[in-house]
Amino acid sequence: MLEAAAGKIVVRGLTRRFGSKLALAPTDLDVGPGGVTGLLGPNGSGKTTLMRMLIGLTKPDAGAATVDGAALEGDGLGIRRRCAYAPGEIALYGELSGAQQLEFLLRGRDRDAHARAQSYAQRFELPLERRVHAYSHGMKRQLLFAAALAPQVRVRILDEPSEGLDPTKRGVLVELLREDAARGTTILLSSHHLGEVDRVCQRFVFIHGGKVIANESAESTAARARRLLRVAYAPHDTLAQALARAAGELAPHVRSARVRDAELLVELADDDPRGVLERLARFDGLGAPTALEFGRASLQELYRDLYGVEAC
């Protein structure tokens, strides 16, 4: 029996295969109540599959989930009534006006949802009287986001809500997300825009190859970024062996140490890199470092350096 708390997303062992491809390995996840959680990962990593399963669009092969206390069962109607969803795919009915499209998207929602969606659309300066086929990619995305933000629910699941938006509109989106989160809404969003995720999320879930490879708070991620040391060396014949040996010897004294090309990537145990640098200076075969970076890793770099996968 899963914990079914208000405003929480609880996932236990959710799994899905498409033919021989494992889209999502057995996954456990707890999100909320409240706050914005970023679901990060490259294309095809399983983000959309997980989100679609959570609202009953894709049936899981195994596992269970609850969203805002409603269990994932049947066609997921119980969950869809309790949460709003913005799809990642942008396909709308071109023959409808923006206002009619909102009406379509908000069918089954509370009576005031349409008025709220229109006010959000106005924040984005969307011409709701115009037909959707005249909308740009970004405008369609904003319309979907306005519709997802309108229902009065405790949970929102947003699949790449900022994809295709210009920086100004992305700023409006971040502002709206913050306002919504401040009202206590639990938001699970996927994104490739790590900068924007960095600004709005309190928690990051990294997913790769259908597996959750990290799930940590923004503070913990920032602390890790501050402890990340990157030391580059001039390439030579025996550098690879020397770096491997150095990483192996450093490992007991640091959180992690790995080699990438001619670089040594070290996550320190504390905020002081001097001890590690002194050890590296004593190693034979490395030579003098050609570049050194410490405590300045962006979320994207951290993601790449710690997990060896690109975020986008």
Q: Which of 44, 108, 184, 248 binds another protein (CB under 8 A)?
A: 108
Contact indicator for 67, 42 with CB cutoff of 8 Å: no
**CA–CA gap between residue 173 and residue 101 (Å, rounded):** 20
Show the tokens assigned to 139. 């405008």
How many whole angstroms from its chain centre is CA 86? 14
Residues in contact with another protein, total (CB under 8 A)? Answer: 27
- Quickly list DSSP for 210-231: TEEEEEEEHHHHHHHHHTEEEE
Judged by CB, which is closer to another protein: 59, or 253? Answer: 59
Region binding another protein by CB under 8 A among candidate stretches 53-61, 167-175, 258-266, 287-295: 53-61
Residues 159-198 that bind another protein (CB under 8 A): none
**CA–CA gap between residue 75 and residue 133 (Å, rounded):** 31
CB of 93 to another protein, least distance (A): 6
Judged by CB, which is closer to another protein: 55, or 299? Answer: 55
**CA–CA gap between residue 182 and residue 177 (Å, rounded):** 8
Using CB under 8 A as the criterion, what x/- string covers residues 67-106 for binding another protein?
-------xx-x--xx---x-x-x-xxx-xx---x--xxxx
Which residues are 292's β-sheet partners? 231
Q: Write the DSSP symbol of residue 88.
A: S
Dihedral sign computed on CA atoms, order 9, 5, 201, 170: positive
**CA–CA gap between residue 82 and residue 160 (Å, rounded):** 20
Q: Which of 107, 111, 183, 282 binds another protein (CB under 8 A)?
A: 107
Judged by CB, which is closer to another protein: 18, or 310? Answer: 18
CB of 130 to another protein, least distance (A): 16
Under rule CB under 8 A, residue 137 binds another protein:
no
Under rule CB under 8 A, residue 237 binds another protein:
no
Residues 238-267 that bind another protein (CB under 8 A): none
Under rule CB under 8 A, residue 55 binds another protein:
yes
Which residues are 225's β-sheet partners? none
Under rule CB under 8 A, residue 47 binds another protein:
no
Under rule CB under 8 A, residue 52 binds another protein:
yes
**CA–CA gap between residue 261 and residue 154 (Å, rounded):** 46
How many whole angstroms from its chain centre is CA 292? 29
CB of 296 to another protein, least distance (A): 40
CB of 303 to another protein, least distance (A): 27
3-class SS of residue 21? strand
CB of 17 to another protein, least distance (A): 12
Judged by CB, which is closer to another protein: 80, or 169? Answer: 80
Q: In what helix (H) or strand (E) does residue 208 lie, and over which residues does it extend?
A: strand 203-208
Residues of the shown chain interacting with another protein in the complex, contacts defined by CB under 8 A: 52, 55, 57-59, 74-75, 77, 80-81, 85, 87, 89, 91-93, 95-96, 100, 103-109, 144
